[in-house]
């Protein structure tokens, strides 16, 4: 009984420390479980029964769902707030040979605290991203953010799908591209923008993916002056992830081929 009580106390203390960190200048760059370094890498293959988020329509690509119970489940800083400004995580898609894609929207699954209701989101599409080098932006902008709850919760953070679209499709020829959507919370009159945190979800099982094989493994990058990381691969040991945690991102592309 004493041992059980002590464990409960330690657990509560750990949660309290996490809460303090999330609302102090010692903001964490990620939200994640301890991880299982011995877990097999996910297989990036197309799902025979895809079921992407409703906002991915028509769905050209969807990387797959977060699995909140997986020891390798994680969230990565992707936010533009008055607390953590311009901290961006990018996921990659390789358009196969013989395919030309028309993309007119990007969606991401984010874990967020407090009342999550961004009015706008910024987007960016890049090529030639490598460690320490952001390559070249081929399309960027901002627009109204469309938000839908996924029904999943990870370590106390509710998950939402955020989509941003544009009117003139971006044409993507075969090759690898990196994508980011960043919900904005920069209203100085909104107190939550000073403490609010949000993290883009990873995917470890690629559940419900659409053309999941198009996502190259281990190609997620963080660009964040706030956290002092310039185009750092999320597999960089300094970021503390296992090889499974940094394998792939939960995001999608609206478009056709």
pTM across the whole model: 0.89
Encoding tokens for residue 242?
A: 């296992």
**pLDDT per residue rounded down to tens, the chain (257 residues):** 433 433 333 333 233 334 434 444 469 999 999 999 999 999 999 999 999 999 999 999 999 999 999 999 999 999 999 999 999 999 999 999 999 999 999 999 999 986 777 899 999 999 999 999 999 999 999 999 999 999 999 999 999 999 999 999 999 999 999 999 999 999 888 888 888 899 999 999 999 999 999 999 999 999 999 999 999 999 999 999 999 999 999 999 999 99
Q: Which helix (H) or strand (E) holds 5?
A: helix 2-22
Cα–Cα distance for residue pair 89/101, rounded to 1 Å = 22
Quick one: which of 74, 139, 73, 64 has its CA closest to 107? Answer: 64
Q: How far apart are the first and last CA of the chain?
A: 61
- Fill in the DSSP letter of residue 188: T
């Amino acid at each position: 009984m004493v041992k059980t009580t002590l464990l409960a106390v330690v657990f509560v203390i750990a949660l309290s420390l996490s809460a303090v960190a999330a609302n102090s200048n010692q903001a964490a760059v990620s939200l994640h479980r301890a991880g299982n370094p011995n877990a097999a890498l996910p297989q990036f293959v197309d799902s025979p029964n895809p079921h992407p988020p409703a906002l991915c329509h028509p769905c050209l690509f969807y990387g797959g769902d977060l699995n909140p119970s997986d020891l390798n489940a994680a969230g990565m800083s992707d936010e533009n707030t008055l607390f953590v400004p311009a901290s961006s995580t990018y996921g990659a898609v390789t358009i196969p040979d013989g395919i030309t894609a028309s993309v007119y929207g990007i969606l991401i699954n984010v874990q967020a605290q407090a009342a999550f209701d961004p009015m706008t989101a910024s987007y960016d599409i890049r090529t030639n991203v490598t460690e320490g080098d952001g390559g070249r932006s081929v399309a960027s902008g901002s627009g109204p953010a469309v938000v839908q709850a996924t029904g999943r919760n990870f370590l106390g953070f509710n998950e939402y799908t955020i989509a941003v679209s544009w009117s003139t499709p971006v044409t993507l020829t075969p090759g690898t591209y990196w994508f980011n959507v960043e919900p904005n919370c920069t209203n100085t009159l909104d107190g939550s923008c000073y403490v609010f945190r949000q993290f883009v979800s990873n995917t470890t099982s690629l559940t419900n993916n659409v053309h999941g094989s198009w996502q190259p493994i281990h190609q997620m990058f963080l660009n964040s002056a706030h956290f002092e990381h310039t185009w750092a691969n999320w597999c960089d040991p300094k970021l503390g992830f296992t090889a499974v945690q940094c394998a792939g991102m939960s995001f999608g592309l609206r478009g056709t081929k």
